[in-house]
Amino acid sequence: MIEELLKMNINEALKCKDARTLFLYLYYHDGNNLDLVGNKILETGDLRYIHFLLRTFEIKDYKKYIDYILNTSSSASYLYYILYGVDYLDEETRLSIINRIIELNEDRYIIKSMYFYFNYLKQFNNDLYNKIKTIFKDKLDIDINRDDLLSILEELFYKEDYMYDYEGFTENCYKGRKDYIPNIIVCHINNTYGSAIKNFYDKEAEVSAHFVIRRDGYVKQVVSLDDSSWANGTSLREASDIYYRFAKSPLINSIEDNANYYTFSIEHESYDGSLTPKQLESSIEVMKKIIRYVKEKYNYDFIIDRDHIIGHSDVNPIVRTKCPGKMFPYDIIINELKKEFN
């Protein structure tokens, strides 16, 4: 399939009617003819690939895509992931997305988008402020004023952190490593520690990571290093958006198996990949522990470089464009680890 996409010319691509092929055409042609192919994707009305398009490419003429999603999506989730995952939107567009999320009335996404706007982006808008004042009064019986707006949002956003506590390891994993020596660490981010932990112990969510590292540096291990977490799986099916041959990592791309079997995964509580000093320290300590474990258990010297310490977006570039995000401090981590082990 990839070979066919690479050989395909623009006229052949424009005859395609399915959003996935059109999107993958752009992906394998570095976004050339983005406007022509983008219009075709828009014609299909497929929200999944319209939203991938916005998150993968920096699109000048993005408003038509946003307008389409604003007018057709009945769920706040795509809107929120565009708000959070597309960093080139202008202020007016951001506000129209947040206002639509408010209309859709899903509490979780209302709080997430408000937190993102006021607390993370550090923006302020008076109309929006008055709106949330009313919403918080009606829904949560909380009176807010401008002075405590940020702290209330912060508290609501992170409240989940303190709601969940689990003993021991989760069952969300494969036992063992097949016949692999696990030799890659995959870095991830999750907006809140609480939501990560909750999903990792929820059988139905079918996700996990070996470790979760909170903003304050606290480390929770969720899966034994002997086992394979469900963090960054790849599929052998061409029809899947996590097909292993889409991987940007040359190692992952060349191993015809699920990447979870031969990787370790570390989740960090973060919005854009930047880590607090304590979190960075913990992350480096966790990686040291992994490297020592690999030596002890397999008598194998973990290779410390950017091919073996990678991000989720290197494994699943189509669906995980912002994990762990461009602020993630790979260089600092790799340097520190080299100092320890070389």
Residues that bind Zn ion (CB under 5 A): 188, 312, 323
CB of 73 or CB of 229, closer to Zn ion: 229
Q: Which helix (H) or strand (E) holds 219?
A: strand 219-221
- Please tell me the number of Cα atoms within 13 Å of 13 on its side-chain side: 29
- Nearer CB in complex with Zn ion: 94/312: 312
Sheet with 211-213, strands from edge to edge, namely 219-221, 211-213, 263-269, 184-190, 309-311
Q: What are the strands, taking DSSP E only, across 121-203?
A: 173-174, 184-190
Q: Which is nearer to Zn ion, 210 or 312 (CB)?
A: 312
Cis peptide before 324 (omega within 30 of 0): yes
Place of tokens 């958006």: 241
For the CB of residue 236, give the shortest distance to Zn ion in the complex, in Å. Answer: 20
| Closest CB to Zn ion among residues 84, 118 | 84
Confirm if 124 and 94 have CB atoms less than 8 A apart.
no
Please tell me the chain's helix, strand, coil percentages from 3-state DSSP, rounded to the nearest 5.
50, 10, 40
Instruction: Give the nearest distance from C-beta 29 to Zn ion in angstroms.
Output: 26
Q: In this complex, which beta carbon is closest to Zn ion, that of residue 232 or of residue 282?
A: 232
The least CB distance from residue 316 to Zn ion, in Å, is 8
Number of neighbours of residue 64 by Cβ within 10 angstroms: 13
Of 177, 308, 316, 328, nearest in space to 267 by CA: 328
What's the min distance (Å) between Cβ of 323 and Zn ion?
3
Least spacing, CB of residue 261 vs Zn ion, in Å: 17
Least distance from Zn ion to the Cβ atom of residue 74, Å:
26
CA 96 to chain centre: 23
Residue among 22 and 82 whose Cβ is closer to Zn ion:
82
Q: Which is nearer to Zn ion, 100 or 188 (CB)?
A: 188
DSSP per residue, 9-78: -HHHHHH---HHHHHHHHHHTTTTTHHHHHHHHHHHT-HHHHHHHHHHS--TT-HHHHHHHHHH--SHHH
**Rounded least distance, CB 324 to Zn ion, Å:** 7
